[in-house]
Amino acid sequence: MRDQLSLYPKNNHSRTVVSLDGMWHFRFDPESKGETEGWMNHLDSSISVPVPASFADLFTDQYSKNYCGDFWYETDFFVPAKEQTRTQLRFGSITHRGTVYVNGMKVTEHEGGFLPVLCDITGYIRAGEFNHVAVKANNELSESTLPCGAVKTLKNGTRIAAPYFDFFNYSGLQRSVYLVQIPEEHIQDYSTVSSLNGKDAEVSYEVVTNGNHEVTVSLFDKEGNRVAQSSGKKGTLHVKDAHLWEVRNAYLYDIKIEIKDNGTLIDEYCDRLGIRTVRIDGTKILINDKPVYLKGYGKHEDFDIIGRGFNWPLVKRDFELMKWSNANCFRTSHYPYAEEWYQFADEEGFLIIDEVPAVGMMRSTHNFADAGMGKYTYFFETPTVPTLLKNHLQQVEEMIERDKNHASVFSYSLFNEPETTSTYSHDYFSKIFEFARSIDPQHRPMTGAFEKNSAPEKCQCYMLVDFMCLNRYYGWYISGGPDISDAIEKFHDEMQRWQAKNLNKPFVFTEFGTDTLATEHKLPSVMWAQEYQNEYLENNFKVFDSYDFIQGELVWNFADFQTTEGIFRVNGNKKGVFTRERQPKDAAFVLKKRWENK
Ligand code: BDP
């Protein structure tokens, strides 16, 4: 078995982690000639760019911002000489795909831009010396890779992205890169599943190592007292009077896994562990057997200049704002985020719907508007589908592999707004759901976000999900402005049709919102003004509160974010409750008040 992605790099007695973040050399390769010209050995005429960051907003020219094709990064790194060691490079992500070369030799290739790339470089490096890493990355979109889109060639030959999704096609080395040294015999992976037994809890675990030495697993409370221990690669930790990880009241234990040879430490790995259960019971979502109503946001990894680049201060600020507004949940729309988001959510007691980058599964560059207009593009009836399915399954596997131990992750979302009205889509998604269910040790509820075309009478996929997630824009894309009273009637009409189906499943709104300019105020309200956003929200809340199977509301979006340019977007999508600079629009106070007592 290969080393798994769940082990976020950590320094300890047996492991050494060195950050390779900083300035790297960079070069666009529009003619894809880098490989034949040997750029993996040395990047001539390169410029310096920071890692982690998207490259798009670092520059002042259109060409660089919208560049679509191959591009290269390189840097030198020192490898400390150590006995009996495996050396790895771990990229938080390479967007959307990449080939990694060490000292000119190809080490690995990886498809998908939002999950880690782990390379064993032991056989490629010179220990005790400087070594060279080059990455050939590529950010083209197609209908056989995730997220879906196309590449458009302008008359002058320039290629640009044509996303079938509503966020800018940011790319590059957007997450941290680490050099990791671990012992030859080491912990490759672990997973845990908690169950409750009165006041006590049981944490069953499975550890994967590449050797036969003894494994011990211990659990420590916040004060550092060992509260449970077990040995063997599989076992159970019995925790008396367990402190549970509760929503917005997190308690984290430390789990310590050790491999020892007659008492001598070979390898260790420590992690935070929240004890909690997740269950759907009829129309209720239960965490630790208590119903929870989801309050929060669909988000993006998005900020000025850094694009989708990972940034701890931004994580901190976003959690402060979410807490201030009394939220308890967010969806990682529309791709798995950097791992640090999940670590912090574990600490802050936030629930996460973790989403795979299956977005744009309708052939349209105005997907968001077409989502409610009955458009049908035969997406799951084209020859690209087998490759798309392969990539989709791979990314579901890597996402669950990476995130399976986070207490915050209570559900996986396996799509956003695909076409779902054909038997082809049903066949496609049946395979995705069946696979996802078979690999999640915690058997979390699986879901996906449905657009309005997925109407109760037409949708062929709602039966696949454990709880329904609806993206609805009654009062924005449908009957907006002076027509808002029609919007509410239409909204009720749809909800009554769902109700009549008696699905006996929770429903969560994973998107609803209006584009709102932080500068605009008007009475009576007009679309795009802050007053309209508030009225729209209040109207939507009245609908939500009329059906007891509705168990959550995640507003679209937490903050304004960058998109492709177009007549629908004013320097990006402005549906943020907060501005892109993370300051509140008036709607933030409306939500804060509602969620205080919800
Ligand atoms: C939905 C998409 C989301 C868009 C949103 C919008 O899921 O990515 O940003 O609409 O239009 O269709 O704001």
Tokens of 66: 């919208």
In a domain, 252, yes or no: yes
Q: Give yes or no for a contact between 474 and 492, defined as CB atoms under 8 angstroms apart.
A: no
What is the pLDDT at residue 63?
Answer: 97
Q: Which of 175, 203, 232 is the last residue of a domain?
A: 175
Q: Ligand 1 pocket, 370 CB below 6 A?
A: no
Q: 294-298 and 329-331 as β-strands: parallel, antiparallel, unpaired?
A: parallel
In a domain, 69, yes or no: yes
Confidence category of residue 74, pLDDT binned at 50, 70, 90 = very high
590 backbone φψ class: left, alpha, beta (φ>0; ψ -120 to 50): alpha
Residues 156 and 268 in one domain: no
Residue 482 has pLDDT above 70, yes or no: yes
Total number of domains constituting the chain: 3
List the catalytic residues: 417, 511
Q: From ligand 1's centre to the CA of 451, what distance in Å?
A: 9
Using most ligand atoms within 8 A of CB, pick from 476, 511, 577 the residue to mutate for ligand 1.
Answer: 511
Separation of alpha carbons 420 and 449, rounded Å: 11
CB atoms within 10 A of CB 66: 17
Q: What percentage of the chain reaches a pLDDT higher than 90?
A: 96
Q: Give yes or no for a contact between 229 and 239, defined as CB atoms under 8 angstroms apart.
A: no
Separation of alpha carbons 554 and 350, rounded Å: 13
Q: From ligand 1's centre to the CA of 489, what distance in Å?
A: 22
Q: Ligand 1 pocket, 284 CB below 6 A?
A: no
Confidence category of residue 371, pLDDT binned at 50, 70, 90 = confident
Q: Ligand 1 pocket, 556 CB below 6 A?
A: yes
Q: Let me know how many helices (H) and strands (E) the chain has, helices first.
A: 9, 30
What is the pLDDT at residue 188?
Answer: 96
* 167 contacts: CB under 8 Å, gap ≥ 6: 300, 302, 334, 561, 562, 563, 573
Q: Give yes or no for a contact between 367 and 146, defined as CB atoms under 8 angstroms apart.
A: no
Mean pLDDT throughout 573-593? 98
What is the pLDDT at residue 1?
Answer: 55
Nearest to 326 by CA among 247, 424, 211: 247
Concatenated DSSP letters of 346-393:
HHHT-EEEEE-S-B--SS-TTHHHHTTTT----GGGSTTHHHHHHHHH
Residues 130 and 230 in one domain: no
In a domain, 287, yes or no: no
What is the pLDDT at residue 2?
Answer: 63
In a domain, 284, yes or no: no
Separation of alpha carbons 466 and 452, rounded Å: 19
Q: Give yes or no for a contact between 137 and 110, defined as CB atoms under 8 angstroms apart.
A: no
Q: Which of 148, 175, 202 is the last residue of a domain?
A: 175
What is the pLDDT at residue 579?
Answer: 98
Radius of gyration of the chain from its Cα atoms, rounded to whole angstroms: 24
Q: From ligand 1's centre to the CA of 353, what distance in Å?
A: 16
Q: From ligand 1's centre to the CA of 473, what distance in Å?
A: 9
Residues 208 and 349 in one domain: no
- Please state the atom number of ligand 1 nearest to the C-alpha of residue 416: 7
Mean pLDDT throughout 123-131? 97
H or E element in which residue 342 lies? helix 339-348
Q: Whose CA is nearest to atom 1 of ligand 1?
A: 368
Residues 166 and 55 in one domain: yes
Q: Ligand 1 pocket, 171 CB below 6 A?
A: no
CA torsion through residues 379, 384, 388, 390, sign: positive
Residues 351 and 262 in one domain: no
Q: Ligand 1 pocket, 368 CB below 6 A?
A: yes
Residues 191 and 306 in one domain: no
What CATH number corresponds to the domain at position 139? 2.60.120.260
Q: Ligand 1 pocket, 512 CB below 6 A?
A: no
Q: Ligand 1 pocket, 575 CB below 6 A?
A: yes
pLDDT in tens, 1-13: 566 777 999 999 9
Q: From ligand 1's centre to the CA of 417, what distance in Å?
A: 9
pLDDT in tens, 215-265: 999 999 999 999 999 999 999 999 999 999 999 999 999 999 999 999 999
Tokens of 549: 């199977």
Q: From ligand 1's centre to the CA of 337, what distance in Å?
A: 18
Residues 118 and 139 in one domain: yes
Separation of alpha carbons 263 and 266, rounded Å: 9
Q: Whose CA is nearest to atom 12 of ligand 1?
A: 368
Q: From ligand 1's centre to the CA of 149, what distance in Å?
A: 15
Burial readout 537-569 (b: 16 or more C-beta within 10 A, e: otherwise): bebbbebbeeeebbbbbbbbbbbbbbbbeeeeb
* 277 contacts: CB under 8 Å, gap ≥ 6: 194, 195, 196, 286, 287, 288, 289
Residues 124 and 192 in one domain: no
In a domain, 321, yes or no: yes
Q: Ligand 1 pocket, 355 CB below 6 A?
A: no
Separation of alpha carbons 549 and 503, rounded Å: 9
List, in sequence order, every residue forming a beta bridge with 86; answer none if it has no partner: 182
In a domain, 500, yes or no: no
Q: From ligand 1's centre to the CA of 10, what distance in Å?
A: 36
pLDDT in tens, 275-315: 999 999 999 999 999 999 999 999 999 999 999 999 999 99
- Please state the atom number of ligand 1 nearest to the C-alpha of residue 449: 7
What is the pLDDT at residue 369?
Answer: 81
Q: Ligand 1 pocket, 330 CB below 6 A?
A: no
Residues 438 and 567 in one domain: yes
Q: Ligand 1 pocket, 562 CB below 6 A?
A: no
What is the pLDDT at residue 374?
Answer: 81
Using most ligand atoms within 8 A of CB, pick from 168, 331, 471 the residue to mutate for ligand 1.
Answer: 471
Residues 160 and 217 in one domain: no
Using most ligand atoms within 8 A of CB, pick from 165, 166, 533 the residue to mutate for ligand 1.
Answer: 166
Separation of alpha carbons 327 and 595, rounded Å: 7
Q: Ligand 1 pocket, 371 CB below 6 A?
A: yes
CB atoms within 10 A of CB 230: 17
What CATH number corresponds to the domain at position 331? 3.20.20.80
Residues 213 and 343 in one domain: no
In a domain, 520, yes or no: yes
Q: From ligand 1's centre to the CA of 118, what distance in Å?
A: 32
Q: Whose CA is nearest to atom 9 of ligand 1?
A: 166
Q: Whose CA is nearest to atom 5 of ligand 1?
A: 368
Q: 97-102 and 105-111 as β-strands: parallel, antiparallel, unpaired?
A: antiparallel
What CATH number corresponds to the domain at position 264? 2.60.40.10
Q: From ligand 1's centre to the CA of 573, what distance in Å?
A: 9
Using most ligand atoms within 8 A of CB, pick from 451, 570, 573, 580 the residue to mutate for ligand 1.
Answer: 573
- Please state the atom number of ligand 1 nearest to the C-alpha of residue 563: 9
DSSP 460: S
Separation of alpha carbons 13 and 315, rounded Å: 29
Q: State CA 4 to chain mean position distance.
A: 18
Mean pLDDT throughout 547-561? 98
Q: Whose CA is nearest to atom 2 of ligand 1?
A: 368
Confidence category of residue 429, pLDDT binned at 50, 70, 90 = very high
Q: Ligand 1 pocket, 515 CB below 6 A?
A: no
Separation of alpha carbons 415 and 409, rounded Å: 16
Q: From ligand 1's centre to the CA of 564, what distance in Å?
A: 12
For the entire predicted model, the pTM comes to 0.98
Residue 571 has pLDDT above 90, yes or no: yes
- Please state the atom number of ligand 1 nearest to the C-alpha of residue 333: 8
Q: Give yes or no for a contact between 330 and 554, defined as CB atoms under 8 angstroms apart.
A: yes
The CA distances from residue 135 to 71, 72, 105, 157, 172, in Å, are: 8, 6, 11, 25, 10
Mean pLDDT of the chain: 97
Mean pLDDT throughout 264-280? 98
Residues 262 and 303 in one domain: no
In a domain, 11, yes or no: no
- Residues of the domain holding 47: 21-175
Residue 195 has pLDDT above 80, yes or no: yes
What is the pLDDT at residue 375?
Answer: 86
Mean pLDDT throughout 561-584? 97
Q: Ligand 1 pocket, 174 CB below 6 A?
A: no
